[in-house]
Structure 1
Amino acid sequence: MPKLFHKCWSVIKNIYLNAEKMVIGNVIQRTDNLYEQAKIKLLFDYAFFYIIILSCLQIVNIIAQNLVNLIVIPFMISMLIAGLMLIHKGVASNKVGSFISLATLITPMFSSLFNEQDLSPKYTMIWVMSILLCYITVNLRTALIWSGILCAYLGVVAYLKVNQLQIFVSPGYSPGFQYLANPIVAGMYLLFLIRALGQYYRNVIRMQHWNMMEQQKQQLTLVNQHLTKQFILVKGFSKSGRTAFSNGELELLDTCFSEIEKQCKTAIDYLNDPKVRL
């Protein structure tokens, strides 16, 4: 069993790396904005791993003969593939983020509605993730609009339940099946959440660290250039002072000492400046 799991994971990993290179390999190189690169990577991870999860869930729906999900899941997969194509074409990450997050917010609502208005974790988790994706890749305003859409749907469900209104219910999901499936599906979505959003924040932290290191390198270069200039001047005045001392030119020697002191003070003041501290 462990060997089979390892083999399956190796296959998925190879598919992931090849797909990543094909879809976003050139796109990331077009921008120097590290935050934009992180968002592109997040959108790819989100779409790719969600397609993997939906493919696994589709097998369950084939077994359970859930008519609604047999239609909804392929449609959602096609939306995610369309999102990947938009990324590959270089469409702005905020537009792709709006498209993917809205598709993964609205489409599960149809599945939920026609499966006895199911509000179990397999729906609520993806709704929350869709809104988080929108917030990260688009903006707060759009995320709030998406949240309003979700709240409106929950209001519709509440109205249907309170008034005991019946609509078409897809066969195949018995209460027992729901209870057994929830832990498995929730676990899959938690892994999805950790991999997609967790990896995004890791990438952001790495990029911030890289930026900090680059800034420190640039600052060190500036400090080195400034101090080198000061030391060259000090060396020149020191040489002139030795010549003046040998020739008995005390006035020139005093001037050289004054200049050396001045340059040393300038260097010390520069190092004590908060703007150049590392």
Structure 2
Amino acid sequence: MAKHFRNAWLFTKNIYLSSEKAVIGQVLLRTDDTYEQAKLRLLFDYLFFYILLLFPILLLAMISQNEVNLILIPCLAGVLLGCLYLLKRGVPAGIIGMTASFGTLLISASSSFFNHQDLSPRYAIAWAMSILLAYITVNLRTSLILCGLLCVYLSGVAYIRINDISIYVSSGYSDSFQYLSNPITVILYMLFLIRALGQYYRNIISMEQQRTHEKQKQHLSLINQNLTKQFLLVKGFSRSGKSAFIKGEMELLEACFTEIEKQCGAAIGYLNEAQED
């Protein structure tokens, strides 16, 4: 059993790496901004793993014969695949993030509405992910708009429930099946949340460390160049001082010693600066 899980994991990992290279490989090479690269990776992870997540969700819908979900899940998959295509074409991350976040929130809200206004954690996590995606990849205003839409929907559900208004419920929906499937779907959504956002912050930290390392290398290279220049000057003044000493030109010798002291002081200053950094 462990071997089968390992093989399945390796197979999924290979698909992920190949897909990442095919979709955002060239886009990352054309992007110098590390934060923009992290957003592109987040978008790819969000889209890729959401599509994978839809397979078990679709299987549950097929088992329960939930007609609404059987229609909406392929629609959501189409939106996500379309976003992957836009990502590959180099469309700005903000546009893709807006499309993905609005699409996932509205379609999941539609599923919730026609499934007896289900407000279980599976939908709450999906809505939270949509809003966070908009906040990270687009801007605060877009995420607030999504929050507003969600509040309108929840208010509508509250009105329907309070006034006991009869609304169409998808065939195949049952409270007992929802309770039984909730542990599975919630765990899957939580793993999706951890993978997408967790990897995003890991990418941010890694890229910042890499950028800091590059800056340090450039700074050290500049210090080495300056030290080399100072030592060459000291060497030149030493030769001039030696020649002046042989010829008995004491004023020139004193001037050489003064310059040597000056250049040594400058070199010590560069070394102290390197230690402080």
**Shorter chain as normaliser: what TM range?**
over 0.9
Could you say if the C-alpha distance between residues 46 and 273 of structure 1 is closer, same or farther in structure 2, counting changes exceeding 3 Å? same
Aligned to 2:24: 24
Is 2:226 the counterpart of 1:226?
yes
Aligned to 2:182: 182
In 2: Cα distance, 1:25 partner to 1:268 partner: 45
Distance apart, 1:271 and its partner CA: 4.3
In 1: Cα distance, 2:156 partner to 2:195 partner: 32
Aligned to 1:201: 201
Aligned to 2:15: 15
Root mean square deviation of aligned Cα: 1.6
In 2: Cα distance, 1:270 partner to 1:41 partner: 39
Distance apart, 1:250 and its partner CA: 1.7
Instruction: Report matched runs for 1:138-217 at 5 Å.
Output: 138-217=138-217
SS in 1 for 2:164: coil
C-alpha contact 2:45 2:196 (8 A) present in aligned 1: yes
Q: Which has the larger displacement, 222-231 or 67-76? A: 222-231
In 1: Cα distance, 2:270 partner to 2:200 partner: 39
Aligned to 1:249: 249
Aligned to 2:48: 48
Q: TM-score, normalised by structure 2?
A: 0.95
Aligned to 1:88: 88
Aligned to 2:120: 120
Aligned to 2:74: 74
Specify the code of the residue in structure 1 equivalent to 2:101: S
Distance apart, 1:126 and its partner CA: 0.7
In 2: Cα distance, 1:272 partner to 1:143 partner: 48
C-alpha contact 2:34 2:207 (8 A) present in aligned 1: yes
Distance apart, 1:277 and its partner CA: 4.2
Deviations 1:120-170 (A, max 9, x none): 111000100111111111111111111111111111111111111120011
In 1: Cα distance, 2:158 partner to 2:15 partner: 42
SS in 1 for 2:91: coil
Distance apart, 1:113 and its partner CA: 0.4
In 2: Cα distance, 1:263 partner to 1:4 partner: 68
In 1: Cα distance, 2:32 partner to 2:165 partner: 54
Structure 2 residue ranges without an equivalent (≥5): none
Distance apart, 1:272 and its partner CA: 4.5
Q: Which has the larger displacement, 60-69 or 9-18? A: 9-18
Instruction: Report matched runs for 1:255-270 at 5 Å.
Output: 255-270=255-270
SS in 2 for 1:154: helix
C-alpha contact 2:64 2:177 (8 A) present in aligned 1: no
Structure 1 residue ranges without an equivalent (≥5): none
In 2: Cα distance, 1:81 partner to 1:214 partner: 36
In 2: Cα distance, 1:235 partner to 1:10 partner: 61
Distance apart, 1:207 and its partner CA: 0.6
Distance apart, 1:6 and its partner CA: 2.0
Q: TM-score, normalised by structure 1?
A: 0.95
Is 2:109 the counterpart of 1:106?
no
In 2: Cα distance, 1:265 partner to 1:21 partner: 52
Aligned to 1:33: 33
Percent identity over paired residues: 56
Distance apart, 1:238 and its partner CA: 1.3
